[in-house]
Structure 1
Amino acid sequence: MSIEARLAELGVTLPDAPAPAANYVPWVLSGNQLFVSGQISADADGFITGKLGADMTAEDGAAAARTCAISLLAQLKAGCGGDIDRLVRVVKLVGFVNSTADFGDQPKVINGASDFMVEALGDKGRHARSAVSAASLPFGVAVEIEAIFEIA
């Protein structure tokens, strides 16, 4: 089954790849690895903002992280010239969580992206990962995630 067919089963349509917000490129292809710049939590209503441990729960953060994963796949598709089925595997995700100093559930938040990758991509979605706290993130978003993909 194609990746987009699987996404459709999950009720997900990939948006157009978000444009960068500053002087950088959204992705870089080096050999067979596609490095995708950090994607921030956003949905059709705009940025998903907040601080975990203050005005957001870990579950809220996981939902925000899922939106980052969808944007990462949109960038992957763009980086593969529109053929997302060139994906060999997700190599690594690095997640940043806008959180209070005493919030310690960053891994639970980034699970929203990790779980989505495995749900959508099966074994190709299993990856190495980091989940770290940030005192703030661009535009006040709750989550930002970057990725490394291996492609054919």
Structure 2
Amino acid sequence: MKAASVSQLKKELAFRSQDELLELCLRLSKFKKENKELLTYLLFESDNEAEFISEVKKEIDEQFAGINTRTWYFIKKSVRKILKDVKKHARYSGKTETEVELLIYFCAKLKSFPKPIHRNKTLQNLYERQLQLINTKLEKLHEDLQYDYRLQIEEFNL
């Protein structure tokens, strides 16, 4: 079965009643955890972006605290998982400011990690790619926000 395009889905959803849309959303939320998380964000957390960011930062802190530091393999695997979660939350928000703030926080946590990341080429490359992504995203923001985020980057010595 081939999935319909977004425009086809939009046209079809326009013809559905409110009850049918509600039923479709609930059914969709039952199939994938990400669908349920996105729906939760849209319904409960999108109104207060600052609270959402602080919750994600707490989650990042917990994940970094739980990293197994015995071998570089486990560290790399855990850091990649944390980055995947950060990007997922940024995608839910859809706001460049949120993505930049979360990526800056992730890079700051990674840089302050107990084992120095410059000893591992993979982690160093991951860190540098995220810094490049932050700089690319910063160019899309308003000048005042760019200045504020650049101050944060300097504060963390990223």
TM over 0.5: no
Q: Which has the larger Rg?
A: 2
Judging by fraction of residues, say which structure has more strand: 1
- Determine which structure has greater relative contact order: mean sequence separation of CA pairs < 8 Å that are 6+ residues apart, divided by chain length: 1
Shorter-normalised TM range: 0.3 to 0.5
